Structure 1
Amino acid sequence: MYIVIAGGGKIGYYLIKTLQPYKHRITVIEPQRELCEKIANQLNISVVNGDGTSIEHLTESELGKADIFIAVTGRDEENLIACQLAKRKFGVNRTIARVNNPKNITVFEKLGVDIAVSSTSIIADLIEQEVDYSGVRTLMKLKGGKITLSELVITPESGVINKKLKDLNIPKDFILISVIRDDAVIIPNGDTMLSEGDYIIAASSYTEQQELKEFFLG
C-alpha cells in the first residue's frame, strides 16, 4: 500500500514509525527542511520538502498513485484543503485528517474527508466508555456518534425482570443485540425472559440512550 502523509512533526514522525513494520511505501510532505532531513535519515523514506496544500508538491509526492492520504499538520484548515485536493484533484480513495478542534469533525466529514480524527474526542470517548452512568455504560459509538452501543445491568428495581421480551413493548428504535447471563451469551428472541443481574447489549441513537436506561432500569 502506498501512503502519503502531509506533516512531519511529532504525530507524523511516530505515525510513520508505526506504519513502517507493515511494509507500506510511505512518502511524507513537510515544509521544514530540518524535519525532512531528520525523517529521511532516521526513517529512510521518501521526503518532499514542501507544502501539503500545494499541487506542485502533492504531484512531486506521486499522490496520484497513493492508496491513502493522511494530513496531520497542526492546522485544521491545511489538513482539510490537503485532503480535498487529494480526493478531487488526484483521485485518492481514502483520506484521513487530524482535527485539532473536535467541533470541526462534522465539517470535515461533510466536505468529503473520509476519516476525521481528534485526539481530544478519542480521549473523551475512552473516558466515557469507562464511566458507568447508574447501570449504563457506553461501549462504542458509530456513525459519527449518532448510534451508541450500550451495556446495561438489570437491577432488582427493574420492571422488566421475569418478563418475556415480546411482552415488554420495547420501543422500535432500540435494538437488543445480546443478553449475557453468567458465562452464557444469549441471542434474544421474543420468548427470552430477563433476570436480575443480566447484562444487556443494546443499540440506540445517542439521544435516546437515557430513554433506553429508563426503559430497562426504571
Structure 2
Amino acid sequence: MRRKVVIAGGRSKARSLALSMLKQGYEVTLINLSHQDCMELAMIESLTVIEGDATKPYVLEDAGIEGFDVAIALNTKDEDNLVICELCKTLFRVKKTVSLVNDPKKQDFFLKRGVDHVICALEELAELIRQQASVEEIKRVSAPKTDALHIEEVTIPKNAWCIDKPICALGLPDDVIVACINRRHDTIIPNGSTQLKAKDRLVVLTTENEKSAIRILTEKNGYGE
C-alpha cells in the first residue's frame, strides 16, 4: 500500500518536494492558497492539488487526509504551520507531522506542542557555514539542480538602493531568503528588521527560478523605482 503525504504551502519548495516524493512512490496531496500555483501544480501527473487555506479544517477535510502517514507544513508564517500540524494530528489522525520554521527560537515550542519534526532552514544553513571554510566550499557541496535550492553570495555596493533598509521592506520573492550577513568581522543571522549596509556580504538561499531576483540588491534603483 502506498504511503500518503500532504504538503501545505511552500510554493516552489513544495513542488520540488512533491516531485521527489512521487518518485519515491508516495501518494501526494498538495494544498496551496494561490490559484496560479495550483494551476501550474495541476500539470504534474499523479499529484492531487487542492486550492485552499490549510489552516481551515474544512479544507483539510475536503482534501481527504484522514489517516495520512505524513503532513508537511511549509508556509512562510510559523503560526500557520503550527496550526496545520496540530489540526492534522488531532482532527485527522495523521501519523507524523513536519513543520518548517523561520525563527530558530520557536523550534522547542513546536516540539512541545506535538510537532514530530521541526526544520529551520536558517539554522541548518548557519551550521553549514560554520562547518565550511568559505562560501565557495558551500557552493561546491550544494550541487545546483533545476528547482533545487541554490546558495548565492551577494556583496552590497556603496550606492545600492537597499542600504539602511530593513530586509522586510525589500520586496524580495518568498523563495529568496537572506540567510546570513558577513559584516566586517561579524557574522549575522538576520531577521526582517535587519538593515543592510554597504559592503555587506549576503549569503542568500534561493531557487533556480528566483536567482535573477537577487541581482536587484546590487542596483541603484529598487523594485518600481
TM-score interval w.r.t. the shorter chain?
0.5 to 0.7
**Residue 97 of structure 2: which of 85, 95, 98 is its match?**
95
* In structure 2, distance between residues paired with 1:41 and 1:15: 15
Bigger mean CA offset, 120-129 vs 64-73: 120-129
Q: Does 1:114 align with 2:94?
A: no
* In structure 2, distance between residues paired with 1:7 and 1:68: 15
1:65 Cα deviation from its structure 2 partner = 2.9
- The runs of 5 or more residues in structure 2 that have no matched partner are 134-225
What is the TM-score normalised by the length of structure 1?
0.57
Cross-structure match for 2:33: 31
Question: Aligned pair in 2 of structure 1 residues 65, 82: CA closer, same or farther (>3 Å)?
Answer: same
1:178-204 residue CA offsets vs partner (Å, 9 max, x unmatched): xxxxxxxxxxxxxxxxxxxxxxxxxxx
- The runs of 5 or more residues in structure 1 that have no matched partner are 132-218
1:99 Cα deviation from its structure 2 partner = 0.4
CA contact (8 A) 1:8 1:29 kept: no
Counterpart residue identity of residue 56, structure 1: Y
Q: Which structure has the larger Rg over C-alpha atoms?
A: 1
* In structure 2, distance between residues paired with 1:2 and 1:99: 23
The CA RMSD measured in Å over matched residues stands at: 1.4
Counterpart residue identity of residue 76, structure 1: D
**Residue 83 of structure 2: which of 66, 81, 84 is its match?**
81
Q: Per the alignment, in what secondary structure is the counterpart of residue 3 of structure 1?
A: strand
Cross-structure match for 2:217: none
Cross-structure match for 1:126: 128
* In structure 1, distance between residues paired with 2:45 and 2:11: 13
Identity, in percent, stands at 31
Cross-structure match for 1:201: none
Counterpart residue identity of residue 23, structure 1: G
1:93 Cα deviation from its structure 2 partner = 1.4
Cross-structure match for 1:71: 73
* In structure 2, distance between residues paired with 1:77 and 1:63: 21
1:109 Cα deviation from its structure 2 partner = 0.7
1:8 Cα deviation from its structure 2 partner = 4.5
Q: Per the alignment, in what secondary structure is the counterpart of residue 65 of structure 1?
A: coil
The total of aligned residue pairs comes to 131
